[in-house]
């Protein structure tokens, strides 16, 4: 058995298919997941394979079907709840925060909640402010939820399968503009543990710490970074809760410098937390302050040129690199 090259979209679909085929208690529910085969076609073919009892089209009622999924998980099933976009999860925020995240604790361990909430997040390309938000910090903030954000098809496939098998509620945020990206995955089945970062590139001058689309922002800037004579290390966290803190400390202690790249707003973000971890645990290893490149602290503009200027881009990343290395 070797490797095959597939898209991020196909990785998500393969994970769903394999887990539904493996376990009859796994079912999928969400808006347009069945007959329309998903807004981003990540559920293509699943209705035909598994039928309407296990691939359930819902009304536009996120709070309602998220609650149904939590109840089903309490009864021993393993629901996968798709939000057409994570922006719409805000309608179901109370269900995730006050029910899914807390029921194991508040029931004294009587109820496990093995539910996976998944769908696309981040900026989608000229979708304006209400549909272009990276909301991961809201969910990382809440004890009881696990939060996963894969950057590549390999990570998407292995991490989604693990998330579906986990006995805790998992927030699985797929990069909205990553569905057409491609990469190699093994033909045979594999799993990736939650809470394990991936060193995507070894380097010596500074550490780029990123996840999801942040990894791709780093790649877009790589030509300019290397032309300037710098050799960065890239650590993809992949899982934000649990988080692989030891991998963060290892890379920062090696290079002495850290640049965090994230798609979200800068205030009270996951990047803020990672920066705090580094400052508290690697202070005497640092040769310069930790820097961050995030979305600008504004609602996402609709205009294409303003959206590009708002997000991390090679120019903004390169400016941070020069400051970091000065």
- Which amino acids are annotated catalytic? 62, 131
Question: Of how many residues is the chain composed?
Answer: 326
Distances from the Cα of 174 to the Cαs of 20, 163, 225, in angstroms? 19, 13, 27
Burial 132-162 (b: 16+ CB within 10 A, else e): bbbbbbbbbebebbbbbbbbbbbbbbbbbbb
Task: For the beta carbon of residue 277, count every other beta carbon within 10 angstroms.
Answer: 18
Task: Please give the structure tokens belonging to residue 132.
Answer: 């272009």
Give, as one character, the DSSP assignment of residue 264: S
The radius of gyration of the chain from alpha carbons, rounded to an integer in Å, stands at: 20
Cα distances (Å, whole numbers) of residue 271 to 45, 139, 145, 258:
37, 14, 18, 11
């Amino acid at each position: 058995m070797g490797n095959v090259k597939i898209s991020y979209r196909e990785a998500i679909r393969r994970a769903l298919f394999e887990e539904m085929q493996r376990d009859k208690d796994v079912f999928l529910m969400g808006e347009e997941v069945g007959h329309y085969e998903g807004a981003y076609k990540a559920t293509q073919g699943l209705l035909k394979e598994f039928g309407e009892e296990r691939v359930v089209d819902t009304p536009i009622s996120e709070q309602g079907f998220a609650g149904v999924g939590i109840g089903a998980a309490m009864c021993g099933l393993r629901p996968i709840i798709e939000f057409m976009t994570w922006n719409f999860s805000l309608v179901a925020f109370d269900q995730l925060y006050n029910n899914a995240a807390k029921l194991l604790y508040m029931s004294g361990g009587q109820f496990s909640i093995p539910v996976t909430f998944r769908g696309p997040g981040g900026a989608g390309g000229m979708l304006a402010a209400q549909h272009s938000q990276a909301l991961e910090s809201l969910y990382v903030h809440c004890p009881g939820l696990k939060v996963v954000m894969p950057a590549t098809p390999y990570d998407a496939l292995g991490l989604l399968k693990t998330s579906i098998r986990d006995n805790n509620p998992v927030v699985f945020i797929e990069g909205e503009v990553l569905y057409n990206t491609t990469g190699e995955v093994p033909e045979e089945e594999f799993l990736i543990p939650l809470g394990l970062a991936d060193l995507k590139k070894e380097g010596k001058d500074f550490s780029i710490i990123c996840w999801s689309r942040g990894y791709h922002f780093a790649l877009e800037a790589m030509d300019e970074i290397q032309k300037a004579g710098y050799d960065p290390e890239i650590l993809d966290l992949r899982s934000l809760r649990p988080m692989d803190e030891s991998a963060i400390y290892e890379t920062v202690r090696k290079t002495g410098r850290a640049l965090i790249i994230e798609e979200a707003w800068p205030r009270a973000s996951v990047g803020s937390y990672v920066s705090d971890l580094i400052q508290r645990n690697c202070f005497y290893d640092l040769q310069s302050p930790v820097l961050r490149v995030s979305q600008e602290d504004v609602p996402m503009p609709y205009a294409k040129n303003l959206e590009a200027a708002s997000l991390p881009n090679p120019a903004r990343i390169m400016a941070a690199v020069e400051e970091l290395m000065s």
